Amino acid sequence: MTESEIRTLWEAERPIYEAWSDYVRDRLVARLTELLAQQEPPGKIGEFLKLPVQPRLKDAKSLVDKALFRDKRYGDPYAEITDKAGMRFVVLLSSHIRLVEQAILGDQDWEGSKDRDYEEERRARPLEFAYQSLHYVVRAARDITLGAVTVPKGTACELQIRTLLQHAHSELTHDTIYKPKKAASPEITRTVAKSMALIEAADDFFELVMRDLQSASKPVRDAIDALSRAYVRHVGIRPETEKSNAVVLDAFAEQMPADLTGRIDSLILSKGYISERIRSRFDTHHLFRQPVILFTYLLAVSKPAELKDIWPLTNEDLKLVFLDLGISYDNL
């Protein structure tokens, strides 16, 4: 295949690959959003993906260079190049990579094949510390019409899945160390290998820290869930769950009753006006949109002095809670 033929064909097919890569991106982000919502604790896609997922298409000169001038020994260079369209998913931890893989393998609109797996390479060469990334190629399982474009069956898109540390290492070294085999001295190559060893160790430590943090924060998450359900039950509105909930619950961990839900239910039963007070301030006061407001009322009734002394947020909304209950905030 000549350079001119490659350029002409790519100009004609580029809109197909653009539509296909956008479609793959959107499907995977949607599937990841579903999978994260099912986790404990639930995750958010904006926090899970450390960089925006941006499909990229090869430009014509790069495609020609790879097809004809890199000694790749292609039989059909245009057809065999699978990264004419591609994208990267960058996550925090190596365990997160497998969640992206789960999303890839769970879609019926494409057939996914693993092109490279760094974990398999580790097992095959345990003493080597080299470039790491999980690569998949997804091909349309059938002809798919996307707007004005029909994507033919077999159209490929390459997916690279990396941790943030792997991505940083690749950005620094991949084009300069691993592709031109003779470009780097043994000293540079060894330094790069040592940096990858450190990245692997750091990832192991990050995984341990994440597990410990999730275990330590579970009581607070459980309390927020319980308070959120009570909020819906008594206020009739779905609350927000901003980080201020955890700040308050952390501050009052020692005052947390074992029967939190039962105590909240009893409080609202005896002082039904609290629900109306919360509803009336929902649109204007941040604290009253948080489920922790119920716990705040409970503490104001049972331990008002401690509540005032330990309270970790601003006092304006807290004063409203005391006012509702007929307790003098200034005289405590």
DSSP 3-state of 67: helix
pLDDT value of residue 124:
53
- Of 123 and 306, the one with more pLDDT: 306
User: Mean pLDDT throughout 5-17?
Assistant: 93
Cα separations in angstroms, 181 against 77, 151, 189: 22, 37, 10
- CA–CA dist 176, 168 (Å, integer): 14
At 317, phi and psi to the nearest 5? -70, -35
Long-range contacts of 184-191 (CB under 8 A, 24+ apart): none
Task: Determine the Cα–Cα distance for residues 97 and 93; give it in Å rounded to an integer.
Answer: 7
DSSP state of 275: H
Tens digits of residue pLDDT in 129-181:
445 578 999 999 999 999 999 999 999 999 999 998 888 877 776 655 555 55
**What pLDDT does 126 receive?**
46
Q: Which residues of 282-318 are buried (b: 16+ CB within 10 A; e: fewer)?
A: beeebbbbbbbbbbbbbbbbeebeebbeebebeeebb
Helix (H, G, I), strand (E, B) or coil at 268: helix
- Nearest residue to 78 (alpha-carbon basis) of 178, 1, 186, 169: 1
Q: What is the mean pLDDT of residues 70-99?
A: 87
Q: What token pair was written down for 73?
A: 């020994």
pLDDT of residue 2: 87
Quick one: pLDDT at residue 319?
96
pTM to 2 decimal places = 0.72
Query: What is the crossing angle of helices 273-281 and 292-302, to 10°?
Result: 130
Q: Say which residues have a Cβ less than 8 Å from residue 205's Cβ, sequence separation at least 6.
A: none
Q: Name the pLDDT band for 73 (thresholds 50, 70, 90).
A: confident
Q: What is the pLDDT of residue 320?
A: 96
Q: Worst-scoring range by mean pLDDT, 19-23, 37-41, 175-179, 196-200?
A: 175-179
Give the per-residue pLDDT at 186: 72
Is residue 32 very low, low, confident or very high in pLDDT (cuts 50, 70, 90)?
Answer: very high
Nearest to 81 by CA among 145, 17, 15: 17
What number of other Cβ atoms are within 10 A of residue 51's Cβ?
12
Assign 211 a pLDDT band (cuts: 50, 70, 90).
confident
**Domains of the chain, start order:** 3-184 (3.30.460.10), 214-325 (no CATH)
Nearest residue to 230 via CA among 290, 317, 281: 290
Q: Rounded to an integer, what distance in angstroms lies between the CA atom of residue 36 and that of residue 49?
A: 11
Name which residue leads in pLDDT, 299 or 70.
299
The confidence score (pLDDT) of residue 76 equals: 85
pLDDT for 128: 41
| Percent of the chain's residues with pLDDT above 70 | 89
Q: What is the overall mean pLDDT for the chain?
A: 88
* Higher-pLDDT residue of 209, 266: 266
**Six-digit token string for 281:** 């301030």
| pLDDT tens-digit series, residues 235-263 | 999 999 999 999 999 999 999 999 999 99
Interacting residues of 158 by C-beta distance below 8 A, sequence separation 6+ = 82, 83, 85, 86, 87, 115, 135, 136, 137
d(CA 120, CA 181): 22
Least confident of 2-16, 73-87, 192-206, 309-323: 192-206
Task: Please determine, for residue 302, whether its predicted confidence score (pLDDT) is greater than 50.
Answer: yes
Torsion angles phi and psi, residue 113, rounded to 5: -125, 135
Mean pLDDT, residues 220-246 taken together: 95
- Angle formed by the axes of helices 186-235 and 244-251, to 10°? 80
pLDDT tens-digit map of 48-71 = 999 999 999 999 998 988 888 876
CA distance 84 to 21: 10
